[in-house]
Amino acid sequence: MRMLSRGLPLLALGICVWATPAAAQKDIGSGSFKFFFGAYGGVTVFETGAQNDKAAPMGGVELYVTARRTAVRLSVEEVISTDNLAAFSDPTSASGVRQVTFNDIRRYNLMLIAMPLQGAIQPFIGVGVGWQHLFNPFFSGTAADPEALKEEVKQRSSLGYGSGIVGVQIRTHGVALFGSYQITSAPSDDKLLVGPTHTLSGGLRFSLGGTESHSY
């Protein structure tokens, strides 16, 4: 899992380098392989076992690769939220419950997108997988083996998930304005986050060029 969380940013960087502009700007989803860089922001709602649903601002960047009516989306995003409280059952704690504080949440997403309609206004729907981890998880109280407990908290702070997304984009030559709603699957019971997360976001996509398709 640790290798996966480190590998995803490297994969994103590698694709971005590979997708350096090689052609003039093209219309989104017109039939060629085309590459777009996007930036977006919005709100993510999440929950832990020690606090109710919390809405926090988030921002992200994406690489968006289209081919006819489909696209692949690779994104990295940060949920900005400080002083969050989580908890898990711990028999070594005096109360039987170990509290944990953390700050931001970072997420990596890989999604397959379908764009059933072509036109200036273009709805889309997609499914994918992702990985997220909590920043600066810190347990409260004392522990007989602090290093072991620190590692346990770290494991509980990281998780993989499945996700779904729906949205719409309004496109012009080389640029698209888009908005979306994304939901993730709920983590297992041994994680600090509970239940699915919900994200509403909007942003812009800019053409990086593409490769012409000659036949399909």
Within a domain: residue 42?
yes
**Dist CA 204 CA 61 (whole Å):** 10
Position 102 scores a pLDDT of 96
Q: Are 15 and 76 in contact (CB under 8 A)?
A: no
pLDDT digits (tens, 9 = 90+) for 75-88: 999 999 999 999 99
User: Domain for residue 110, yes or no?
Assistant: yes
Q: Does residue 200 or residue 172 have the better pLDDT?
A: 200
Q: What is the pLDDT of residue 8?
A: 46
Residue 68 reports pLDDT greater than 60: yes
In a domain, 36, yes or no: yes
User: Taking 60 as the threshold, does the pLDDT of residue 119 lie above it?
Assistant: yes
Whole-number pLDDT of residue 209: 79
Judged against a pLDDT cut of 80, whether residue 93 lies above it is answered with: yes
94 versus 214: which is more confidently predicted? 94
136-194 pLDDT per residue, tens: 999 998 888 899 999 999 999 999 999 999 999 998 888 999 999 999 999 999 999 99
> Per the structure, how many domains does the chain have?
1
d(CA 157, CA 61): 23
pLDDT in tens, 1-44: 444 444 444 444 444 434 433 333 344 444 468 999 999 999 99
Closest CA to 46 of 79, 10, 95, 12: 79
Task: Give pLDDT, residue 3.
Answer: 40
186 is a domain residue: yes
pTM score above 0.85: no
CA distances 48 to 87, 127, 128, 191, 194, Å, are: 8, 24, 23, 9, 5
Report yes or no on 215 lying in a domain. no
pLDDT at 116 over 60: yes
pLDDT of residue 17: 38
CA angle 13, 21, 5 (to 5 degrees): 10
Q: What is the pLDDT of residue 40?
A: 98
**pLDDT at residue 211, as a whole number:** 61
User: By residue range, what is the domain housing residue 133?
Assistant: 2-210
Strand 97-102: give its sheet, edge to edge.
84-89, 97-102, 138-139
Lowest-confidence pick of 22-26, 49-53, 96-100, 149-153: 22-26
Residue 216 lies in a domain: no
Amino acid code (one letter) for 122: Q
Tokens 């490297």, located at residue? 10
d(CA 198, CA 192): 16
| Domain harbouring 149, CATH code | 2.40.160.20
